Amino acid sequence: MRKLLLGFAVIGMISLASCSKERDCKCTTSITGDSIATSSSTSTVHIEDGRCRDMNSETTILGITSKVVCK
């Protein structure tokens, strides 16, 4: 009986460890526009919950576009 309970405890701990929602995302930010030079930078972002692609965005203001792509 003790071995069975120990077995369930080990399986439970392994399954909880493998379902961790924390992750590191590699994000690239690029800025483009008609009157400015194109620039980009890459950084690593640590998130607690969610997917990396949830952080993707694109915004255009006065002809200048800022785009963030995370993997």
Residue 32: CB atoms within 10 A of its CB come to 15
34-54, pLDDT tens digit by residue?
Answer: 888 889 999 999 999 889 999
Domains contained in the chain, number: 1
6 lies in some domain = no
Note the helical H segments in the chain: 2-18
Q: Give the residue among 40, 55, 50, 62 at the shortest CA–CA distance from 20.
A: 50
> Do the domain assignments include residue 11?
no
Task: Check whether 8 has a pLDDT greater than 70.
Answer: no
Lowest-confidence region among 14-18, 29-33, 63-67: 14-18
Could you tell me the residue range of the domain that residue 32 belongs to? Answer: 21-70
pTM, entire model: 0.64
Distance (Å, rounded) from C-alpha 3 to C-alpha 8? Answer: 9
